Amino acid sequence: MSELKKIREQKNLTQEELAEKSGISVRTIQRIEAGTEPKGYTLKTLASSLEISEKDLLIADVLKDEIVVEEPILKVEKVEVFNSTLIKIINLSSIPFAWFPIANFLPPLLIMLFTKERSQIVKQIISLQIFLAIISPIIFLIVALLKLGSAFVLITMIGLSLANIFIILSNAYEIDKKRNLRYKLNFNII
């Protein structure tokens, strides 16, 4: 209830009587009683007509501001559950295709899709394998185009496969010990 309405009722005045006494329209008095804050001329005239100070008409708003109690906002954060066994399986699933870089990211990607494990670490594992699937053929082609001989091409292919296996095993070890990856990209491809 607005302060104006309280004071008007204490003085046994109707809205019409207060309007006649103050010269303020009934509609303006209704708006003020509904919550519109009186200002300037209207505030001074109503205070004078009711024989009160201007502060008395506004005091309820000040009290409302002081009394308002904000309800605490409960923030529910989604906490990722770290399933290290599943993450290690996803990581190690690339080993059978480590020699064939174009397909080395497919097993972890399929496991991720079927198990719906979409944590950041899994995305990093798959992104790294996709990156290796792009880089390995490029390195292989450069070596082949340089015509260094079939032995060097074979050594390059074996070296790339062993490097991929080393990355996979190092990451599996880090997942076990630190719940993180040793080798990862600064960005996600997926």
pLDDT at 77: 66
pLDDT at 70: 65
What phi and psi, each to the nearest 5 degrees, are found at residue 71?
-80, 140
Rounded-to-integer distance, Cα 107 and Cα 94, Å: 6
Task: Measure the CA angle with vertex 88, ends 87 and 94; round to 5°.
Answer: 105
* Spans in the chain with pLDDT lower than 50: 61-65
Domain end: 14, 42, 67, which one? 67
- What is the domain count for the chain? 2
Q: Where are the alpha helices (DSSP H) in the chain?
A: 3-10, 15-22, 26-34, 40-50, 54-67, 84-92, 106-115, 120-145, 150-178
Q: For 65-115, write each residue's pLDDT tens digit.
A: 455 556 677 666 666 567 888 888 988 999 998 888 778 889 999 998 999
Domain extent at residue 22: 3-67
What phi and psi, each to the nearest 5 degrees, are found at residue 187?
-145, 165
39 and 106: one domain? no
129 and 166: one domain? yes
172 and 88: one domain? yes
Domain end: 67, 98, 118, which one? 67
Q: Whole-structure pTM over 0.85, yes or no?
A: no
pLDDT at 62: 45
